[in-house]
Amino acid sequence: MKLLKLILLVILFIGCRQDLDETNIIGTWKLSAQLMDPGDGSGKFLPVNSSRTVTFRNDGTYISNGSFCNMNIEANQNTDGNYIYSSTEKKLTPKCFTIGLLLPTVLSINIENGNLIISNYGCDEPCAQKFTKIKD
């Protein structure tokens, strides 16, 4: 009976820990790598030298020192927007303007191996950006 309780406690601990790791998007993340596949599936994340960051707040908003309207690595533009990160939805909604119009843009966000992955930039081939958490 004691062994059964111990096994259940371990399963509960592991399950809770995994949930926390997968949903802890709140904080500041720095761009660390970028993926741009050449079209043959061989693309890999390559390190980038960038000071671009994004901070996710508890209220469902984010601020960044770079644009999410393209795959730019520059940190030269203050931007903001909304995000949803739950078990059923994981999306970032930047405010992208083209010819004076606000275009609806929705990017996918996910945490993989402790890194934030932002993808679906509208590339013809797979493309994504990887961010590393620098501040809770």
Where are the chain's structural domains? Answer: 2-135
Whole-prediction pTM value?
Answer: 0.78
pLDDT tens, N- to C-terminus, the chain (136 residues): 555 444 555 555 555 444 444 558 999 999 999 998 988 989 999 999 999 999 999 999 999 999 988 888 999 999 999 999 988 899 998 888 666 665 668 899 999 999 999 998 878 888 999 999 999 9
Cβ-based neighbours of 80, under 8 Å, separated by 6 or more: 61, 62, 63, 64, 95
CATH of 2-135, one of 2.40.128.280, 3.40.640.10, 3.40.50.2300, 1.10.3720.10: 2.40.128.280
CA–CA separation, 20 and 22 (whole Å): 6
